[in-house]
Amino acid sequence: MGFLDEALRSVSDELVKLFVDNPATVKVVKSFYDSTSDTTTNTTRVAQMKFTPPSPVSTGMLIGDSGLLATDLVTYTSALALEAMQPPLDPRPSSNVKVYITMSGRDHSVLKVKDWKSGDQSALIEFILRS
């Protein structure tokens, strides 16, 4: 870990807090399939977090990822804020996990999550959203 890593994580946390007064609602829905009874059970966790205002994905992101659309959005949150949640919240979508974020009354599905690191620790978490 470098000399400035922890300071950069703290600065990232403070910058995200400056962007938004009202936190967004994050909903993580996990599905569990029971093959013996042939039923699927969903569990939902809801949390409040602050994010930067969503903005359109960049041209470079579109060129580098054929799964993105020009209407997709990108937003960021602080890794420190995510790590401080108890119990821990993993906002990464997968085949049995769907993640939704509601910001300013608009619902978005989370397509991808990427960690932006400072040294060996995450400083910012990037979310790619689709409305």
Against a cut of 0.85, is the pTM above it? no
Spatial separation of the C-alpha atoms in residues 71 and 87, rounded to whole Å: 33
Domain ranges of the chain: 5-130
The answer on pLDDT for 101 being more than 50 is yes
Predicted pLDDT of residue 1? 46
Spatial separation of the C-alpha atoms in residues 24 and 102, rounded to whole Å: 6
The answer on pLDDT for 9 being more than 80 is no
Angle (nearest 5°) at CA 70 between 56 and 60: 75
Predicted pLDDT of residue 118? 72
The second-level CATH assignment, the architecture, of 5-130 is Beta Barrel (2.40)
Phi first, then psi, for residue 20 (nearest 5°) are -135, 135
The answer on pLDDT for 96 being more than 80 is yes
What would the pLDDT profile of 36-81 be if each residue is shown by its tens digit?
A: 999 999 999 999 998 988 989 988 888 888 889 999 999 998 888 8
pLDDT band at 6 (very low <50, low <70, confident <90, very high): low
